Amino acid sequence: FASPYSWIAAERIERLAAGASVKVRWRPFVIGPILRQRPHNPSPTQDAPPAQKKYRRRDVERICAREGLALKWPSTYPRNGLLAARVALTLESRARREFSLAVFRANFVQDQEVSEPTIIAGLLADMGRDAAADLARAQAPENKVALAAAVEEAIGKGIFGAPSVIVGKELFWGNDRLDQAIGWARAPWT
């Protein structure tokens, strides 16, 4: 939920998939434990040299402008997405998608502090849900264990970054690979 490229991919994937008659299953995980295993660069923001950081901002802005996404840079970066991931994991597929997009937009369009339970509760209430019950389920010990298991499953499938899309046994990493992932789901070319 902290990655602008994950947000862009989340906005794009359903549209691309619908056009190709491909079904998307949203799978929440958190990237922190994966990045912290990096020997050279364990930082949660994948610390880059200044030139590359500057480039990333411009790259995201260009892509958003092209995709018609109303980016407003988060005043805090990265925002901790742990609670949101825990909530997303408890939701069924349609609600999970709707909630995930709401969290991404709160972070990247409305500059809201999505690490805060009150903000997450507000997003759930906007969906017509019982936010208190959702948050309680999200924070229950068994759901924390379930999210840790989801991270392990992601690692087991070769995931090292976000966003990632898996089609069969094939991993595609990044917003830049959405088109290939959809293409592969329709007809693998190798």
Q: Does 180 sit near a copy of itself (CB under 8 A)?
A: yes
* String of contacts with a copy of itself for each residue 106-145, x by CB under 8 A: ----------------------------------------
Phi, psi of 170 (to 5 degrees): -100, 125
3-state SS assignment for residue 96: helix
Collapsed DSSP state (helix, strand, coil) of residue 4:
helix
Q: CB of residue 132 vs a copy of itself: minimum separation in angstroms?
A: 39
**Contacting residues for 8 by C-beta, under 8 A, at least 6 apart:** 60, 63, 64, 67, 69, 175
Would the CA dihedral through 112, 117, 118, 123 be positive or negative? positive
Contact 165, 13 (CB under 8 A): yes
* Cβ distance to a copy of itself smaller for residue 13 or 119: 13
Q: Is 32 in the site for a copy of itself (CB under 8 A)?
A: no
Task: Give the nearer residue to a copy of itself in terms of CB position, either 13 or 102.
Answer: 13
Q: Measured between alpha carbons, how far is 171 from 183 in angstroms, rounded to an integer?
A: 13
The answer to whether residue 16 forms part of the interface with a copy of itself (CB under 8 A) is: no
The residue assigned the tokens 């880059």 is: 48
Selected from 16, 127, 155, 167, the binder of a copy of itself by CB under 8 A is: 155
Q: Helix 117-126 crosses helix 82-90 at what angle (to 10 degrees)?
A: 30
Stretch that binds a copy of itself, among 5-13, 81-89, 90-98, 158-166 (CB under 8 A): 158-166
Where on the chain is the footprint of a copy of itself (CB under 8 A)?
37-41, 43, 47-49, 51-52, 54-55, 58-59, 61-62, 65-66, 155, 158-161, 170-171, 173-174, 176-177, 180, 184, 189-190
